[in-house]
């Protein structure tokens, strides 16, 4: 895939909702993994890592539409920005959780959503979700399998997987016992391989 960051940014500034969907499709699962790592052991009762990733993507789209990110030159810049937004939101969620723990008894569970007279479903089931459909999730999973099938080197598969899980180039280099420049070269090979048919 060629570098789409500048194109997406321009489309978002013009109000094109398809660009927002493309950014979501490309980065949502990766940002969920980043949020999961940043949230650590914080309970997911009120907000989980998917909520954090969605919030980060919404903030990016809103900011892009408002022209707040004029210096996104490539997808590396876009990824760094998305990770930064996600990390800040995850950290803010952790802070809120620990603030709530100091004020015990103020967080209510699912029973707060119950209204037996209104619906036979219980609790939070009364509220529609914003999760992707099962069909969409299956499409994304199939696309991921197809992309990994293009990589004929198990080490490239490991690097791609770690990158999608939110590991930095430095962390991947440490896992491999190699230098960062080697990881960067291998990431370039992965990008070239995945963009070959686009």
DSSP codes, 26-78: HHHHHHHHHHHHHHTT---SS--HHHHHHHHHHHHHHHHHTT--TT--SHHHH
Q: Has residue 69 been placed in a domain? A: yes
Residues 97 and 170 in one domain: no
Instruction: Report the candidate in 161, 165, 123 with the shortest Cα–Cα distance to residue 144.
Output: 161
Count CB atoms within 10 A of the CB of residue 51. Answer: 16
CATH code, domain with 16: 1.10.1740
Decide which of 143 and 125 is more confident.
143
Residue 198 banded pLDDT, cuts 50, 70, 90:
very low
Residues 88 and 26 in one domain: yes
CA distance 179 to 26: 27
Q: Is the pLDDT of residue 128 over 60?
A: no
Residues 175 and 91 in one domain: no
Q: Tell me what pLDDT residue 144 has.
A: 74
**Structural domain of 150:** 134-195
Q: Tell me how far apart the 2 most distant CA atoms of the chain are, in Å.
A: 62
Residues 9 and 98 in one domain: yes
Domain tally for the chain?
2
CA distance 119 to 92: 34
Q: Stretch 174-192: mean pLDDT, rounded? A: 87
Decide which of 141 and 44 is more confident.
141
The residue whose two tokens read 């770690």 is 162
This prediction has a pTM of 0.48
The average confidence (pLDDT) of the chain is 75
Q: Tell me what pLDDT residue 3 has.
A: 64
State how far the alpha carbon of 10 is from the alpha carbons of 58, 67, 71, 153, in Å. Answer: 16, 9, 12, 36
Q: Has residue 119 been placed in a domain? A: no
Q: Has residue 175 been placed in a domain? A: yes
Q: Tell me what pLDDT residue 105 has.
A: 52
- Please give the distance of CA 14 from its chain centroid, rounded to a whole number: 23
Residue pLDDT, tens place only, 154-163: 888 888 888 8
Q: Stretch 15-26: mean pLDDT, rounded? A: 83
Q: Tell me what pLDDT residue 145 has.
A: 78
State how far the alpha carbon of 115 is from the alpha carbons of 80, 104, 133, in Å. Answer: 43, 25, 26
């Amino acid at each position: 895939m060629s570098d789409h960051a500048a194109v997406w940014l321009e489309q978002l500034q013009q109000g094109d909702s398809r660009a927002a969907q493309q950014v979501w499709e490309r980065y949502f699962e990766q940002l969920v993994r980043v949020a999961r790592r940043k949230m650590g052991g914080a309970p997911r009762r009120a907000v989980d890592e998917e909520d954090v990733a969605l919030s980060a993507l919404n903030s990016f789209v809103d900011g892009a539409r408002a022209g707040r990110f004029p210096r996104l030159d490539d997808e590396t810049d876009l990824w760094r920005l998305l990770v930064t937004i996600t990390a800040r939101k995850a950290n803010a969620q952790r802070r809120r959780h620990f603030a709530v723990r100091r004020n015990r008894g103020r967080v209510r569970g699912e029973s707060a959503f119950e209204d037996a007279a209104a619906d036979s479903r219980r609790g939070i089931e009364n509220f529609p979700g914003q999760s992707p459909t099962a069909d969409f999730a299956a499409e994304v999973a199939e696309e991921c399998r197809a992309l990994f099938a293009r990589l004929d080197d198990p080490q490239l598969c490991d690097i791609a997987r770690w990158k999608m899980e939110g590991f930095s180039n430095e962390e991947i280099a440490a896992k491999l016992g190699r230098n960062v420049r080697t990881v960067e070269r291998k990431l370039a090979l992965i990008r070239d391989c995945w963009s070959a048919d686009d």
